[in-house]
Structures are given as C-alpha cells and as structure tokens.
Amino acid sequence: MRTDVAIIGAGPAGLLLAHLLAADGVESVVVEARSAEYVAARIRAGILEHSTVDLLRQVGLATRLQAEGDEHRGIYLQWPHERHHIDFVDLVGRSVWVYGQTEVQKDLMAAHAATGQQIHYEASDVALHDIGSTSPSVTFRGSDGRAHRVEAIAVAGCDGSHGPSRTAAPSAGRQTWERAYPYSWLGVLADVAPSTDELIYAWHSDGFAMHSMRSATVSRLYLQVPGGTSVDQWSDDRIWDALATRLGHGQGGWRLTPGPITSRSVLPMRSRVQAPMRLGRLFLAGDAAHIVPPTGAKGLNLAVSDVALLAPALVALVRHGNGTLADAYSETALRRVWRATHFSWWMTTMLHIGTDPFDAQLQLSQLRWVAGSAAGATGLAENYAGLPIRY
C-alpha cells in the first residue's frame, strides 16, 4: 500500500491525527494492534481541558461532547476539615469538561469510519523501516495473518508507551528523562450518582483520594495505594471505607454515597519524556513520546495538543514539500510537554503521602497557600484548565 502518512496506533492521538489530516486532504493508513471493541472500551482519563474542547469543536467532533459532557468551572481542593473551591473561570476565564476518554474514542472511531480511510485493527508484528530516508514504511501482519507493507511520506508513532515507535530510532539519537513514583492509583467506576458537583482532590494522611464522575449516574473514584498493589487486595467495602475517610464523609455535613463497583484497576504512576519527538520521517505524538502521572489530568490533553501541532506540519510536508513546521515540531511540542510534565509532578507530589512527616507539613503549607492566595490558585487554574496549544 502507498499512502501519505502511516499512523501507528488508533488511540486518541492516532485517530485525531487521521481526522485532522483528512480535513486537509492528506491520506493516512492507521495500523492498530488491538481490536476495535477493545480500543473503544478502555477506561482511562475523564477531563478535557479548554483548548482540547475548542479544537474538537473546530473540527466537528464535539456534538456528543456538548450534549452529554459536563462543563465544570473548577475543582475542590481539600485536606482534613477544609474544602476549597478553585474557580478556574473566575481566575483565568477557562473551564474544563468531564467527558470520558472512552466517549472521545468512540466519537473519533465514528468520524474515522465516515471518512472511509483505511484502518487495520488486530495488526501484529508491526515494524518501522527506513525512517531516516524520505520513503519510510511500516510492515505488519493483518488480522487474517497476511503480511502488509505501507509505504508513506511520513510515519506518525501514536502507539503509546509500549509500541515500537519510540525505540525505532538508534538509542544514540534520543534522550529520555524518567521519574517513577512509589505509589499507584486504584481506580473504580461505580453505578451511583456522584456525591459532588465538581471533582474533589483530597490530601489525607492515609493517602490521596479523588472523586470524579462520568455522568449523573456514574462516579469515578481513585485512591492512592502502594506501588505493586493488586486489585484483589481491595474489597468493595474496603474501597468505600477508605474513600469515605479520605474524602471526608461527615465533614461539614458532606456525605459520600457508595454504590455497586463495576470496574477496578491499578494504575502505576510515572513521568517520562523522550526527545526529540521527531526522528527523520518518524514523528512521535502522545504517550509514545511522554507519560505523565494522572493527577493533573494531562495525558489525553497532551496527546491532543501534540497532534494539533503535528497535523499542520505533516500537511505542509506532504502537500507542499515544505518541512519548516516539521523541523520545528519537536521543539514546539516539547515546550508544552515539559510544562504539563512539571504541573503533573507538582500536583502529584503536593497531594500524595510519602514516608517523611516533614514532607507532609510542606504539602499542607503549600495546599493552604494555593487555596488561600489568588496567586497560588491562579497558577493551578492556568495549568489545569490548560495553556494555549501554541504555548
């Protein structure tokens, strides 16, 4: 097969890129390791920042988001006996939307199917070739076992942290920065109306907890657990008891309503940035280039901002043979990636309990400052609601 851009991975980065390219008349072929059903059902992030929503609106992908999503003005930041609302709209004039990544994924899949462009699910043995040349290619085995080769002008590596793209270039040509955190999140979905109107991020000496949501009838909740925790160690009762304690059930009359848990998983926490994000004719986007711990709600949003920068660069390269934006892609994207990496690290280390009681006092002092000072609250609001794509 011949195409303009071979895209590896059909997550949010890969499918949004295909959509943006198609809107500018650039053809692509998407190659995805998993089945369409698996990709559509993966439960992951839930918060869309301001510029993500703006972009989805501009490219006609926000109809269901606007009908079914929920716009939030801010978040609650709390610690024992105190809960403070940080109002992003008042502070920085920007809001965020609660709309599950599963829904974004379904909208992207429907839009992709409507364009009639090629996508190969359940591909195996996916490999990149000649990325240092002007005619790179991707080979894979289709779901029927047949061998395929896609020849392209450029390859977009949108295959997450375990895909082949990020290690496709010689190791001498790339640099990686990493931080592993000693804790994980236990995330649950529950069939119960949320006990809050906006998200609660809670510091507690037992560990961090968060109350998020997916709809008027579905709650999404997270607990800090030690690294290496298995879901089997947490019964439903233990989960609800820990959530009640950490989220402050009874505090100022607030109540947490428990309900049937329908899904649970453990999410390890780490930060990783790889540079450059362009290696010859291979362009990395999303989790293939960087991972953030989820506390700042940035992973999905960074995937979106990467491809918002990458799409015009690939259009200029493919349609006009102009490589100026492509040459600037890595540096432009990394500026924003590092900002989100710092914010995600900052939120994580401010809210998660470690082993040092000195650190705990510093965290409480910082939380009081963030919640109590316009300067502190504005910094959080600006980063959480999201900086402009060309920050």
Residue 337 contacts which entry, ligand FAD, ligand DHB, none (Cβ below 5-8 A, type-dependent)? none
Residue list 123-162, contact with ligand FAD (CB under 6 A): 123, 126, 158-160, 162
Q: CB 91: neighbour CB atoms within 10 A?
A: 19
From candidates 3, 5, 7, 9, binder to ligand FAD by CB under 6 A: 9
- 320 is an active site residue: no
* 136 included as an active-site residue: no
Q: In what order do the strands lie in the sheet with 282-284?
A: 118-120, 28-31, 5-8, 154-157, 282-284, 278-279
Residue least distant from ligand DHB (Cβ)? 46
**100 binding ligand FAD? (CB under 6 A):** no
Which segments of 227-323 does DSSP mark as H helices, in order? Answer: 236-247, 299-320
Interface residue with ligand FAD, options 4, 32, 107, 198 (CB under 6 A):
32
Give the one residue of 46, 136, 194, 207 binding ligand DHB; rule: CB under 6 A. 46
Q: Are strands 175-190 and 261-275 parallel, antiparallel or unpaired?
A: antiparallel
Amino acid letter for position 232: D
Q: Using CA atoms, how far apart are residues 238 and 223, in angstroms rounded to an integer?
A: 11
- Which string of b and e fits 189-202 if b means at least 16 CB within 10 Å? bbebebbbebbbbb
Q: Decide: is 310 part of the binding site for ligand FAD (CB under 6 A).
A: no
For 30, the token pair is: 């998407």
- Interface with ligand FAD includes 20 (CB under 6 A)? no
Rg (CA), the chain: 21
Is 168 a residue that touches ligand DHB (CB under 6 A)?
no
**Residue 162 known to be catalytic:** no
- In total, the chain counts a number of residues equal to 391
Asked if 10 touches ligand FAD (CB under 6 A), the answer is: yes
Residues serving a catalytic function are 72, 201, 294, 298, 384
Residues making contact with ligand DHB (CB under 6 A): 45-47, 199, 212, 220, 294-295, 297
Q: Which positions lie near ligand FAD, rule CB under 6 A?
A: 8-14, 31-34, 39, 44-45, 101, 123, 126, 158-160, 162-164, 267, 286-287, 294, 297-300, 303
